Amino acid sequence: MSGPRRILVAVDASPLSLDALDTAARMARRQGAELSVLHVEDINLSRLSNHPHVMAVSLVSARRLHPGEMLIEGALALQLAEVRRAAERVEPPGGLILRRGQVAAELLE
């Protein structure tokens, strides 16, 4: 019985998903499999940050933040940068697949 030819791991830069990436990389090395890293930017978070009735409250300044001031887009960019760094560090090197959409639908795709 042969092992998998390709391992796909979804990551979102959380500590648990980065641990899953490390585990998938070890499995790929042992099995001689190709490793693919999938990151999905949640389009609903982007839409939420642009909705006119959405506001956040800053715990630092105790004031409401309007959508233009919210940090969602910046947080998504930082998350993507961390995913890229993690994907570059794994051995064997695998392909990074970037998607933007609804997370569950993109994972199933």
Query: In this predicted model, what pLDDT tens digit does every residue of 7-46 receive, in sequence order?
Result: 999 999 899 999 999 999 999 999 999 999 999 998 888 7
pLDDT at 54 over 80: no
Query: In this predicted model, what pLDDT tens digit does every residue of 66-91 receive, in sequence order?
Result: 655 556 777 788 899 999 999 998 88
Pairwise pLDDT comparison (58 vs 4), residue with the higher score: 4
CA distance 49 to 68: 8
Among candidates 45, 38, 36, which has minimal Cα distance to 11? 38
Q: Residue 4: its pLDDT value, please?
A: 77
Query: Which tokens in the block code for residue 99?
Result: 């998607």
